[in-house]
Structures are given as C-alpha cells and as structure tokens.
Amino acid sequence: MPKQVDPNAQRDEIRAAARRVFSRRGVRGTGLAHVAEAAGMGRSSLYHYYPDKQALLADLVREMLEQERLLFSSCLQGEGTPLARIDRLLAACARLFPEWAAFGRMILDLRLEDVASLGAYFGMLRDQLVDVITEGQADGSLAGELDAPLQASILIAAIDGLLLQHFADPSALPEPGVLAEALRDAAHRLLTR
C-alpha cells in the first residue's frame, strides 16, 4: 500500500526546511535543491508542492505576514485600555525578537522581494494601531493632539528597527523583558505627552 502523505503537513515541513536554509544561505543563495535536501526529500517530490522558488517564497511570505498580522490583531483587539493593548503588542514583539532574528536574513530578503505588497501590509498594521490610538484619544487616555497615523508609523518603525538591530548584533540589546520595558516606556512618552 502506498504511503499516505498529508499535503498540508508536508508543506509545513518544506516551509520549515526552507526557513532554515534561507536563514543560512539567503534567498538568492538558495535553490530548491537545497530546500529539498534539508526537507529530506527529492527535488521531484518538492516540485509537486512548489513548482518553483517563487511559489515557495510567496508561501513563506504569506505565512510570515499572517503570523505577524495575527499577533497584532490578538494584542490590539484584546481586553484592556488602548495603552495596555499597545503595551501587550510591544512586549509580544520584544519576546519574539530572538526567534524572528534567527530568520533575519531571510526576512530581509523576502521583504525586498515584493516591496509593493509590503507597503500595503504595513498600511494594514498601521491602521490597526491607528484605531487603538484614536480610541485612546477619544477616551482621554492618550494625548488628543497626536497625529495617530504618524505615531503608529513610529511604533512600527521602532519594532522593525529593533528587530534589525537584534539580527545584526544581538549583544547590542538587553534581554527581551528589559527591552519590552524600555519600548513600553518610550511608547508611553510618545503617546501620553
């Protein structure tokens, strides 16, 4: 009897192998043969799931962006004051920096592959933050004179900038708990002046 393979589980294994290889070799330095070897399968089997490198990259980008979108949504739409929800997001991101930085090279390469989609994606994240900031302005917990879209962009830039620094030189930043506290303090000064 032929071995039954769960296609979704197999795609998960291929993406995990691809993340490992892309993080070591970069996107440009990695071919499907490298991914197939890391996944413990032949190239022809890999081609059944991903006909080319672009299809695999598109799936990886989709997966990564969806995980980040869910993180933003779960933190920002949960219980608590607007500032508490922003604090929760910043702390969650700081805790994930070591994991995200492990794939830093791949993340940088993938983000450069499709800048137009990345712009739309950042717009969606910014809109979520703008909604929370505007809510805080309406209830008086955040400074009413703030330009909410600009403050949201600054918060996203802080998250991405710290992630980039963590990738380039992890020793430059404190452990995630201390970093989360510093990020929280900066956000409070930015939003409650």
Spatial distance between the Cα atoms of 52 and 42, rounded to a whole number of angstroms = 14
Measure Cα distances from 41 to 33, 57, 78, 150 in Å. Answer: 9, 18, 42, 47
Given a contact cutoff of 8 angstroms between Cβ atoms, the answer to whether 56 and 18 are in contact is yes
Record the tokens describing residue 150, joined without a space. Answer: 């600009």
* Percentage, residues of the chain above pLDDT 90: 59
Residue 50 has pLDDT above 90, yes or no: yes
The CATH fold assigned to 61-192 is: Tetracycline Repressor; domain 2 (1.10.357)
Given a contact cutoff of 8 angstroms between Cβ atoms, the answer to whether 130 and 155 are in contact is no
24-28, 65-69, 105-109: range with lowest mean pLDDT: 105-109
Residue 117 has pLDDT above 80, yes or no: no
Each domain of the chain, given as residue ranges in start order, spans: 1-51, 61-192
Predicted TM-score (pTM) of the model is: 0.81
57-61, 84-88, 113-117: range with lowest mean pLDDT: 113-117
Which pLDDT value is given to residue 139?
96
User: Does domain 1-51 sit in CATH 1.10.10.350?
Assistant: no
Residue 110 has pLDDT above 80, yes or no: no
What lies within 8 Å, CB to CB, of 74 at 6+ separation is none
Which pLDDT value is given to residue 70?
94
Residue 113 has pLDDT above 80, yes or no: no
Determine the average pLDDT of the residues in 118-124. Answer: 87
